[in-house]
Amino acid sequence: MPGKLVTDGDTITFDLLPAESATKALILNPPLPRISGTGFATINQKKICVLADAQAFVCQFQYTTPEYQAPGSGLIKITQAPTAPYVTTPDSMQVLVQDPPLEAQVIFEVPATNPETGAPDPDVEPIEITGTFTPQNQLVSAQ
Nearest to 96 by CA among 105, 86, 88: 86
d(CA 54, CA 131): 12
14-50 pLDDT, tens digit per residue, is 887 655 555 676 776 667 889 999 998 899 999 999 9
pLDDT of 122 reads 93
Nearest to 54 by CA among 37, 41, 40: 37
84-142 pLDDT, tens digit per residue, is 677 887 778 888 888 778 889 989 999 999 999 999 999 899 988 888 889 999 888 87
Say what the pTM is.
0.82
Phi, psi of 85 (to 5 degrees): -70, 105
Q: Which of 53 and 66 is assigned the larger pLDDT? A: 53
